[in-house]
Structure formats: C-alpha cells, structure tokens
C-alpha cells in the first residue's frame, strides 16, 4: 500500500547516499588522523547549546545563524550549532582550563538557518583544527600549513592561498560606524563583493574617508599592495602594526615554498569573530572558498584576559565534491 503522505526533505537539507557517503567518511578519517598525528586532540562537542551562551563574545552573530527552539524539558531556549570552532573555544576555556597551549580538532555536522554560499545547503560536515593559548606567528603559520595539507590529502592540487588581516579591515570599517549598523552591514557586503558602485551609493560624498573605502576594494594582489596600504591608511594608528605582521607572514610562507599567495586587504569572512590574520584556500576547480580560518583571540573568556586562538575549518562535503 502506498503512503498518502508525500515524502520530502526540508529546503536546503540533503543526505549522502552510497557511494558518496563512504567517500566522505573515509576522507573524514584521513583528516582526523592527520590532525592527531600533528599533536591535536580530538573532541566531540554536542549538537545542542544553550541559546543564551552560544558563541561567546560572538553570541549575536552565531545566534543569528542558529536554529533555536524551546526545550520541553527545561523551558530554556536551545540552539543547534551552526559552527564547531566556537564550541572548541568554549571547551578550551571552561572544560580544559589550561594556561598552556591546547590543540583541538573535530569533525561533525553543523546546521545553519541561512543557506551556504557554497552548496546552497543549510547542513554539512565541518572539519577543523584549532590552537588555543598561543599568540605567536609560529602558531598562525602552523595553522595555514595544516589547512593546505588538509586539501592536499583531499586530492586537491593547484591551491591558491588567500590571506588578509581582519583587524586591519575592521579598523577601516570602524570609520563608518556613525552611519548606523544597518548601513555598516551593507558596506561590509559591498566590500566583500568588491562593488565600488554600491559603496559609492552607500557612503555620503562628504564622508572624509570615502576615498579610502573605495580604494580598499582594489587592495588585493601581491606584496606591493601592503606597501600601498601603509601609505593610504597611515591615518589609522593600528594599520602599520597589522600590515607589517601580515607582510612578515607572507614572506615566511614564501620562504617555506608557498608561492601562490593572493593578498586581499578587503576580505570579509563568513563569521566575523576573527580579529587578526585571516586565510582561505581556493582552486580553479571551484568557484568558492574550500577552507578558511584565522586568528580570533578572546572569543571565549574564562578570565579577564583574552585567550589567544587561531585555527581553520573546511566544508567536508564541498571539498569531497571536487
């Protein structure tokens, strides 16, 4: 007897069938084995979090991507995780509670209330590795190298490394806060699309830094871009330090043999809790970011001091499709 109920999945939700499912699972195992061999400890965070505390210092942003519902047992609001890296930061701050460097890795499903730009899906499997308690440049370089190694393990070649500095980008955007949060969000979106025409319309002509935000759209390329940015944004107190740090990182990566590097000073990442070096990986085979990461000091605070953190994650399903 056939069912009278029409079967279907929710919009933006998919499932993995044979042989794709085992292909994705084998890749997950390879990546986690690589992270463990590299000194990272494996964690399995819960799928649900209390809505009131999800995301730590980035609560509002993370919460905006989460499905939230009332718990029949306690009456509290619960959220399905849209991101695991912030859960790793919670575990480091409140469960492990070490003053030393801690390296954690993970693999698990995430669900977002907004569809992904990559697969137009609201569900996927997120794999990543994070370093906590280490503010050094060496930790940033380790994270970048492990991200690139992850994509090599996935069988992806001819990778381009995109790199920028979220702290620098934020300091430029802060000059437009007086225009209001709604307009600032639109400016961020226009910047991420490199849309000079949109920025022309959004920023009043009388704004003294309008020319700078328009210039930022074109601040991408090789190392010479950093020198130009130092001159263009000299009015920002923090710009020289941020740009010099980025310059040193790029030079060290080139010395390690990583030559295909694209600097983008106007890069605006998905979740905006990053506040230092940000990096991502691209391939000619895909029209989307394969993996992304960066520094996000202070996302969780078990004390009054910001806990240093840097790491990356990748969309396992998207990567396996290449």
User: 56-65, 68-77, 234-243: which has the highest mean pLDDT?
Assistant: 68-77
Structural domains in the chain, CATH included, are 10-157+310-322 (3.30.930.10), 159-283 (3.30.930.10)
Q: What local confidence, expressed as pLDDT, does residue 302 receive?
A: 59
Within 10 Å of residue 175's Cβ, how many Cβ atoms? 18
285 pLDDT more than 90 = no
Q: What local confidence, expressed as pLDDT, does residue 119 receive?
A: 58
What is the tens place of the pLDDT at every residue in 11-35? 889 899 999 999 999 999 999 999 9
Can you tell me the distance from the alpha carbon of 120 to that of 99, in angstroms, rounded to the nearest whole number?
40
Determine what percent of the chain is predicted with pLDDT higher than 70.
96
Residue 83, CA distances (Å) to 47, 160, 176, 203, 236 in order: 10, 24, 29, 32, 32
Q: Where residue 116 falls among pLDDT bands split at 50, 70, 90?
A: low
Q: Where residue 300 falls among pLDDT bands split at 50, 70, 90?
A: confident
Q: What local confidence, expressed as pLDDT, does residue 212 receive?
A: 93
Q: Which residue is listed with tokens 């009332």? A: 70
Q: Which of the pair, 252 or 306, is modelled with greater confidence?
A: 252
R_g of the chain computed on alpha carbons: 20
Average pLDDT estimate for 216-242: 94
Can you tell me the distance from the alpha carbon of 24 to that of 32, in angstroms, rounded to the nearest whole number?
12
What is the tens place of the pLDDT at every residue in 74-105? 999 999 999 999 999 999 999 998 989 999 99
221 pLDDT more than 60 = yes
Q: What local confidence, expressed as pLDDT, does residue 73 receive?
A: 96
H or E segment and range at residue 165: strand 159-165
Residues 107, 127 contacting (CB under 8 angstroms): yes
What's the gap between Cα 17 and its chain centre?
A: 28
H or E segment and range at residue 128: strand 123-132
Return mean pLDDT, the chain.
92
**Percent helix, percent strand, percent coil in the chain, to nearest 5:** 40, 20, 40
Name the phi and psi angles at 128, rounded to 5. Answer: -165, 175
Average pLDDT estimate for 220-235: 95
What is the tens place of the pLDDT at every residue in 177-209? 999 999 998 999 999 889 999 999 999 999 999
Q: What local confidence, expressed as pLDDT, does residue 298 receive?
A: 86
Q: Which of the pair, 157 or 144, is modelled with greater confidence?
A: 144
Q: What is the pTM of this model?
A: 0.93
Residues 114, 65 contacting (CB under 8 angstroms): yes
Strands 261-264 and 220-221: antiparallel
Write out the DSSP string of 9-28: PPTT-----TTHHHHHHHHH
């Amino acid at each position: 007897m056939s069912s009278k109920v029409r079967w279907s999945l929710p919009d933006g939700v998919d499932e993995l069938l044979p042989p794709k499912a085992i292909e994705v699972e084998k890749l997950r195992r390879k990546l986690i084995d690589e992270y463990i061999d590299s000194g990272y400890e494996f964690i399995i965070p819960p799928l649900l979090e209390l809505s009131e505390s999800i995301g730590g210092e980035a609560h509002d942003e993370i919460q905006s991507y989460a499905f939230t519902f009332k718990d029949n047992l306690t009456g509290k609001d619960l959220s399905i995780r849209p991101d695991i890296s912030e859960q790793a930061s919670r575990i480091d701050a409140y469960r492990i509670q070490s003053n030393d460097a801690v390296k954690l890795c993970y693999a698990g499903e995430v669900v977002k209330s907004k569809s992904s730009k990559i697969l137009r899906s609201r569900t996927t499997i997120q794999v990543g590795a994070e370093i906590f308690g280490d503010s050094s440049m060496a930790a940033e370089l380790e994270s970048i190298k492990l991200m690139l190694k992850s994509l090599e393990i996935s069988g992806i070649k001819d990778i381009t490394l995109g790199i920028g500095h979220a702290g620098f980008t934020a300091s430029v955007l802060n000059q437009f806060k007086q225009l209001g949060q709604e307009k600032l969000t639109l400016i961020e979106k226009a910047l991420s699309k490199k849309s000079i025409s949109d920025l022309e319309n959004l920023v009043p002509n009388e704004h003294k830094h309008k020319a700078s935000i328009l210039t930022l759209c074109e601040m991408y390329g090789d190392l010479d871009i950093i020198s130009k940015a130092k001159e263009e944004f000299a009015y920002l107190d923090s710009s020289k330090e941020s740009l010099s740090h980025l310059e040193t990182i790029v030079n060290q990566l080139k010395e390690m043999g990583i030559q295909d590097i694209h600097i983008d000073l106007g890069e605006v990442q998905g979740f905006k809790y990053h506040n230092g070096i940000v990096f991502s990986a691209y391939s000619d085979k895909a029209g989307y970011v394969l993996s992304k990461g960066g520094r996000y000091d202070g996302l969780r605070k078990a004390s009054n001091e910001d806990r240093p953190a840097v790491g990356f994650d990748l969309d396992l399903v998207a990567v396996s499709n290449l």
